[in-house]
A and B are shown apart, each in its own frame.
Chain A
Amino acid sequence: MDLANIIQPPSTPSLLSRLRANLFGNVLDSVVSIVCGVLLVMLVYSVIDWAFVSSIWRAEDESLCKEAGGACWSVIDARHRIIFFGLFPYEEHWRSTLACVVMTATIVLSCFPWFWSALRLSALWLAGFGTFYILMHGGLFGLSVITPERWGGLALTIFIFAAVSIIGMPLSILLALGRRSKLPVIAKMVGLFIDFFRSLPLLTILFTAAVITPFVLPGWLQGDKLYRVIAGFAIFFACYQAENIRAGLQAIPAGQDEAGSTLGLSYWHRISRIQLPQAFRNSLPAIVNQFVITFKETSIVTIVGFFEILASGAAAYGTGKWTVHYIEVYVFIGLIYFMFVFSLSRYGAYLERKLRVGHG
């Protein structure tokens, strides 16, 4: 046998040779590549220069900012407490910090598959929310009471996100199942409910929850404005998420449920062990997307008078000499958002890979 004639798999071209072929294939390509390259380098250079080289970092050095010409991080150094804590009393900031850490840890822990049973997840979230509430609200263990109007900053943003998710997720599952109910009355009513809330802007819902419901609901049902807003937000979230989950359920062949039935599994076992895991896998990208959108949309609560992180940012640069440094404040807040949202997306990508196991 002629060894030279044995067919080899084509070797994958090196990165360098692929770049050369794609970017410098002909004269025009080369010119465009070079121009873009130069622009990119200039951009990166000026950003680095602004952020790191010509920048001023310490609060006391604010007077040097104008001359240095770069970012004036002094504003963050001086005002970061307002960004993180809003109107929360100064000497209690440690409570808000701890509450943030606890809530973030709760979110991170619930991302681990080990916690994915109804019991463990509920225990985790009960502990997480309980600790958060005691720390923020006080009134127990000698902590002074701080009512929700004075909560603010990052702690409030994280709290609203976590609360909306934790109320919204089970609700979205119920809505998705309800809309697929075999009883036409239930399916129709749930469908109407979902479509009604999806056709309202979030802003309208939050306004209604904050301002109008007090006139309608009996006093004992009103609760704090914050909780009404969270409830409205959660319903809005759930209606969208329900449609994502329903899409995932729709994609499961009928045979899956039939196989479950003939094995004697009850309706809830079929839902929890067969349908939902597959539905989540089917529409994972859309589900994660909804969380990302929700995290960013928490900033809307400013409108009904809450001091979430974006509003406290505005307060941070809102006085005296700091008013000129709003860009630095927004870049800083942008980075905080980025950290959360980027982690969420990466986690989504990780889950997608993990759940694809055995689905070649």
Chain B
Amino acid sequence: MAENTSNTVTAVAMNSVNKWFDDFHVLKDINLNVADGEKVVICGPSGSGKSTLIRCICKLEDHQRGTINVLGTELNDDVSNIDEIRREVGMVFQQFNLFPHMTVMENCTLAQMLVRKKSRKEAETIAMGFLEKVRIPEQAGKYPGELSGGQQQRVAIARSLCMNPKILLFDEPTSALDPEMISEVLDVMVSLAEEGMTMICVTHEMGFARRVADRVIFMDQGEIVEENSPLEFFENPVNERTKLFLSQILQH
């Protein structure tokens, strides 16, 4: 996808972000700018800090040094800032994290009604629209436990979309899925990308990265080791660690 606007607004700006878990240095001097409408894929070996990085963007984790700006608002301890950002940033988890005690429809309407103060009717109309978009409107009355993994993840995406987020974060959305269900989730993500959603995806689905990513970022041991367009990244990786990683995951 080409950057389609000349005045690219910054969706996410991370400036020398550092984070420690106790004295374990998980994120080392991360600098990352994501433009509005851009799609970024993050990959890297297990434990390299990918999840931690995107969790910092929606303030599920605190960073200790550096600054993170999301849509022009700085992430600090100011509670109103956090609320503001969470309303604009959606997140899709590896384990779906649907609310098991609510139906699919209730999962999709809860936050709309409580946070966006929509009426139930309004919320349900919006929810139904997104359930149709992820192609499971007929499951609206079921509980998450009655759905397959792929269906649950699509509900989770619909649930995020209901909040009308400007940025969507994905943390290995297909890693917990059986192989035959991966494509149904990736298809939904591709169509979102084509509609211009700003997306930051941690994923090892390299086919997806080639198809939609504007940029691929490789992380290792808490650092951004390499970043490039998908074409360059896969054809001419520069760093030795990237080459090793790619050779490992492309073997399969």
Contact = CB atoms under 8 A, between A and B. Distances in A.
B115 interface: yes
Interface residues of B, number: 30
A219 interface: no
A261 B160 CA distance: 12
Interface string B135-171: 0000000111110000000001001100100000000
B230 interface: no
A358 B142 contact: yes
B238 interface: no
Contact of A263 (B101, B115, B143): B115
Contacts of A79: none
Contact of A264 (B101, B115, B144, B145): B115
B93 A261 contact: no
Given A253-B95, A357-B143, A360-B146, A264 B100 contact: no
Interface string A189-219: 0000000000000000000000000000000
Interface string A333-358: 00000000000000000000001011
Interface stretch (A25-33, A90-98, A273-281): A273-281
Contacts of B97: 253, 255-256, 258-259
Interface string B86-124: 110111010101111101000000110011000000000
Contacts of A266: 83, 114-115
Given A255-B97, A281-B101, A262 B142 contact: no
B68 interface: no
B60 A274 contact: no
A263 B60 contact: no
Contact of B110 (A273, A358, A360): A273
Contacts of A274: 99
Contacts of B160: 262-263
B99 A264 contact: no
Nearest to B88: A264
Interface in A241-256: 253, 255-256
A166 interface: no
Given A358-B143, A358-B144, A262 B86 contact: yes
A269 B114 contact: yes
B219 interface: no
Interface in B198-213: none
Contacts of B87: 264
Contacts of B159: 263
Contacts, number: 77
Given A259-B93, A278-B101, A360-B146, A273 B114 contact: yes
Nearest to A256: B97
Contact of B101 (A260, A261, A277): A277
Nearest to A281: B101
Contacts of A253: 95, 97
Given A262-B86, A265-B115, A255 B93 contact: yes
A265 B91 CA distance: 13
B58 interface: yes
Contacts of B110: 263, 265, 273
Contact of B58 (A262, A265, A277): A262
A262 B100 contact: no
Nearest to A358: B143
Given A262-B58, A265-B111, A278 B100 contact: yes
Contacts of B144: 358
A239 B215 CA distance: 54
Given A258-B93, A259-B93, A265-B115, A358 B99 contact: no
B58 A359 contact: no
Nearest to A278: B101
A278 B156 CA distance: 18
A287 to B, nearest CB: 16
A37 to B, nearest CB: 44
B162 to A, nearest CB: 9
Contacts of A358: 100-101, 103, 142-146
Given A259-B156, A263-B111, A358-B103, 12 more contacts: A259-B98, A261-B86, A262-B58, A262-B86, A263-B110, A264-B163, A265-B114, A266-B83, A273-B114, A358-B100, A358-B142, A358-B146
16 contacts: A253-B95, A255-B97, A258-B91, A259-B97, A259-B99, A259-B156, A262-B58, A263-B90, A264-B83, A264-B111, A265-B115, A266-B83, A269-B114, A277-B101, A358-B143, A359-B100
